[in-house]
């Protein structure tokens, strides 16, 4: 059987088993290709060249095993391979962190797109905070996108910080990224010119309905309370004291825009365009936060 035919057959198994995607791939074929190529020691871009290669019986048995494990355990493929990509940047991941998928990453690398952050930043943007950093992916991408900035990567989880350090070292950014243990903004110093935050925001009802794959991820990195806004309330309250005069906060709230707007009715924000639409990520200035806190 050729490589492409084998991947297609394994994709059919994944689809028939009803696994859920969203941790790096969006469909059964891409998930199958990821697992099969990884198992055979091939890069993802090898498929086009190697598609017609005949696989031996041993190779087929070897490559079928992780697909079976994916089906039986419902673990995301990233946990099986210990690798994930965000904006084509590779990261180490394991069960200590959620699989990186923040749409904020698009805004950091999109220098010409409609949702770019550049219009909100200036040559005075020097200090960046990646709050709730998880595996450190946004901190790394921010440091890559803006070579002149220094980045603090903060999280309350010792496990997450251990993984973040792996990725900071992997990308040789230890001189520009500082990993900090902090309960939200409590232990960071500031002032920051840009705060990036992808906090736990899934509301309680949605948490109960998550597919099995998401239940392998640390619940503390997902669950945001009854309306998903528990952590967001604290962040918006405390952020101005950690921000420079012209600073902005970029906040991801996923599918919780209705809950956000209900909880923060008088807060002036800008919704940023991403591949998921204009209701997933918002930007708020320090001035807007200060006005809102006084209201």
Res 115 pLDDT > 50: no
**Average of per-residue pLDDT across 118-128:** 89
- Report pLDDT digits (tens) over 15-50: 999 999 999 999 999 999 999 999 999 988 889 899
Res 180 pLDDT > 90: yes
Residue 133: per-residue pLDDT: 98
Which tokens sit at 245? 């005069």
- Report pLDDT digits (tens) over 248-281: 999 999 999 999 999 999 999 999 999 999 999 9
User: What does each C-alpha distance from 116 to 42, 113, 196, 280 come to in angstroms?
Assistant: 34, 5, 13, 14
Residue 114: per-residue pLDDT: 43
Among 217, 223, 199, CA closest to 94: 217
**Strands laid side by side in the 177-181 sheet:** 177-181, 150-155, 127-131, 192-197, 243-252, 277-285, 270-274
Neighbour-count burial for 85-117, b at 16+ CB within 10 Å, e otherwise: ebbebebbbebbbbbbbbbbbbbbbbeeeebbb
**How confident is residue 285, by pLDDT bands cut at 50, 70 and 90?**
very high
Which residues have CB under 8 Å from 58's CB, separation 6+?
A: none
Proportion of the chain above pLDDT 70, given as a percent: 98
Lookup result for tokens 């900090």: 180
- Report pLDDT digits (tens) over 58-96: 999 999 999 999 999 999 999 999 999 999 999 999 999
Q: Measured between alpha carbons, how far is 13 from 23 in angstroms, rounded to an integer?
A: 18
Sign of CA dihedral 248, 249, 250, 254: negative
Residue 119: per-residue pLDDT: 86
Residue 191: per-residue pLDDT: 97
- pTM, two decimal places: 0.94
- Report pLDDT digits (tens) over 131-165: 999 999 999 999 999 999 999 999 999 999 999 99
Beta bridge partners of 181: 155
Beta bridge partners of 223: 202
**How confident is residue 294, by pLDDT bands cut at 50, 70 and 90?**
confident
């Amino acid at each position: 059987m050729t490589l492409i035919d084998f991947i297609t057959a394994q994709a059919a198994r994944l689809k028939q088993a009803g696994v859920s995607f969203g941790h790096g791939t969006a469909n059964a074929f891409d998930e199958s290709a990821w697992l099969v190529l990884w198992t055979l020691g091939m890069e993802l871009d090898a498929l086009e060249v190697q598609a017609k290669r005949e696989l031996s019986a041993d190779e087929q048995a070897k490559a079928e095993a992780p697909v079976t494990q994916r089906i039986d355990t419902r673990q995301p493929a990233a946990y099986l391979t210990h690798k994930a990509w965000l904006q084509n940047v590779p990261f180490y991941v394991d069960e200590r962190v959620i699989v990186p998928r923040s749409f904020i990453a698009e805004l950091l690398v999109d220098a010409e797109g409609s949702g770019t952050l550049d219009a909100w930043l200036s040559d005075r943007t020097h200090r960046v905070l990646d709050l709730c950093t998880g595996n450190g992916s946004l901190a790394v991408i921010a440091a890559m996108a803006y070579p002149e900035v220094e980045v603090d990567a903060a999280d309350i989880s010792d496990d997450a910080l251990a993984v973040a350090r792996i990725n900071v070292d992997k990308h040789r950014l230890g001189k520009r990224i500082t990993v900090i243990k902090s309960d939200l903004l409590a232990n960071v110093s500031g002032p920051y010119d840009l705060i990036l935050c992808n906090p736990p925001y899934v509301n309680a009802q949605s948490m109960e309905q998550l597919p099995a794959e998401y239940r392998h991820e640390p619940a503390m990195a997902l669950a945001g309370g009854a309306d998903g806004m528990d952590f967001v309330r604290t962040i918006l309250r405390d952020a101005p004291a950690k921000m420079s005069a012209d600073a902005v906060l970029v906040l991801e709230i996923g599918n919780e825009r209705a809950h956000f707007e209900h909880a923060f009715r008088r807060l002036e924000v800008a919704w940023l365009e991403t591949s998921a639409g204009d209701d997933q990520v918002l930007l708020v200035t320090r001035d807007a936060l200060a006005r809102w806190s006084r209201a």
